[in-house]
Amino acid sequence: MPIKLNRSKLAATAVALLALSACDNQQKVYEQNDVVIHNIDKSVKPGDDFFKYANGTWLKEHPIPAAYSAWSIFNMVQEDLRNKMRKINEDAMKANAAKGTNTQKIGDFYYSGMDTATIEKLGLSPLKEQLARIDAIKDTKSLVDAFATLLTIGVNTPIGAYAGQDERNSEKMMLQLYQTGIGLPNRDYYLKNDEHTAAVRNDYQQKHLPALFNFLGNNNEAAKKAAQQTYAIEKFLADSSRTLQDLRDPYHNYNKMPLASLSKLSPLVDWKATFDKAYYEKVDSVIVGQPEYLRAVNAALTKFSLDDWKNYLRKNLLEEFSPYLNKAVADENFRFYGTVISGKKEQLPRWKRVLDVEEAVMGEVLGQIFVKEYFPEKTKKRYEEMVEAVRTSFKDHIDKLDWMSPATKKRAYEKLAKVYPKVGYPDHWRNYSGLEIDKHKYVQNIMNSAQFDRKFNASKLGKPVDRTEWGMTPQTYNAYYNPSNNEIVLPAAIFTIPGTADDKIDDAVVYGYGAASTIGHEITHGFDDEGRQFDEKGNLKPWWTPQDSAKFATRADMLVKQFNGYKVNDLHVNGKATLGENIADLGGIVIGLDAFKKTKQYKEGKTINGLTPVQRYFLGYALGWLGHSRKETLSNQILTDVHSPNFLRVNGPFSDVPEFYEAFGVKKGDKMWIDPDKRVKIW
- pLDDT confidence tier of residue 391, bands split at 50, 70 and 90: very high
Bridge partners for 164 per DSSP: 174
> Per-residue pLDDT averaged across 275-294, rounded?
97
The per-residue pLDDT for range 573-593, each reduced to its tens digit, is 999 999 999 999 999 999 999
Distance CA 56, CA 41 (A): 5
pLDDT in tens, 173-200: 999 999 999 999 999 999 999 999 999 9
Could you give the CA distance from residue 341 to residue 323 in angstroms, rounded to a whole number?
16
On whether the CB atoms of residues 345 and 66 are closer than 8 A, the answer is yes
The C-alpha atoms of residue 388 and residue 14 are separated, in whole angstroms, by: 34
Nearest-angstrom CA–CA distance, 566 and 638: 11
- Considering the chain, what percentage of its residues have pLDDT values greater than 70? 97
Q: State the Cα–Cα distance between residues 487 and 179, nearest whole angstrom.
A: 26
CA distance 442 to 324: 7
pLDDT digits (tens, 9 = 90+) for 626-663: 999 999 999 999 999 999 999 999 999 999 999 999 99
> Positive or negative CA dihedral for 4, 6, 7, 11?
negative
**pLDDT score, position 8:** 54
Q: In whole angstroms, give the CA distance from residue 168 to residue 131.
A: 41
What is the distance, to the nearest Å, from the Cα of residue 620 to the centroid of all Cα atoms in its chain?
A: 21
pLDDT, one tens digit per residue, over 406-444 is 999 999 999 999 999 999 999 999 999 999 999 999 999
30 closest CA partner among 623, 606, 626: 606
- The pLDDT of 470-481, averaged and rounded, is 96
Q: Is the pLDDT of residue 20 over 90?
A: no
Using the predicted structure, report yes or no on whether residue 370 has a pLDDT greater than 90: no
Q: Phi and psi for 424 in degrees, rounded to 5?
A: 90, -70
Q: What is the DSSP letter of 655?
A: T
Q: Cα-flanking dihedrals φ and ψ of residue 133, to 5°?
A: -65, -40
Residue 548 exposure: Cα atoms within 13 Å on the Cβ side? 23
List phi, psi (to 5°) of 256.
Answer: -85, 135
Q: Note the pLDDT tens digit of each residue in 58-114.
A: 999 999 999 999 999 999 999 998 998 999 999 999 999 999 999 999 999 999 999
- Contact predicate 571/639, CB 8 Å: yes
Cα gap 350→117, rounded to integer Å: 13
Domains of the chain, start order: 124-324 (1.10.1380.10), 381-426+470-678 (3.40.390.10)
Q: Where residue 21 falls among pLDDT bands split at 50, 70, 90?
A: low
- In DSSP terms, which residues pair with 175 in a beta bridge? 163, 286
Burial 364-402 (b: 16+ CB within 10 A, else e): bbbbebbbeebbbeebbebbeebbebbbebbbebbeebe
In the sheet that holds 420-424, the strands lie side by side as 420-424, 487-491, 480-482
Mean pLDDT of 365-390: 92
Is the predicted pLDDT of residue 334 greater than 50, yes or no?
yes
Q: Is the Cβ–Cβ distance between 494 and 518 less than 8 Å?
A: yes
Q: Is 614 helix (H, G, I), strand (E, B) or coil?
A: helix
SS3 for 153-214 is CCCCCCCEEEEEEECCEEEEEEEEEECCCCCCCCCHHHHCCCHHHHHHHHHHHHHHHHHHHH
Mean pLDDT, the chain, rounded, equals: 95
Average pLDDT on 43-47 reads: 98
Q: Is the pLDDT of residue 14 over 60?
A: no
Q: What is the pTM of this model?
A: 0.93
Q: Do 176 and 287 touch, CB atoms closer than 8 A?
A: yes
Q: How far apart are the C-alpha atoms of 21 and 18, rounded to whole Å?
A: 5
Helix H or strand E encompassing 192: none
pLDDT at 503 over 50: yes
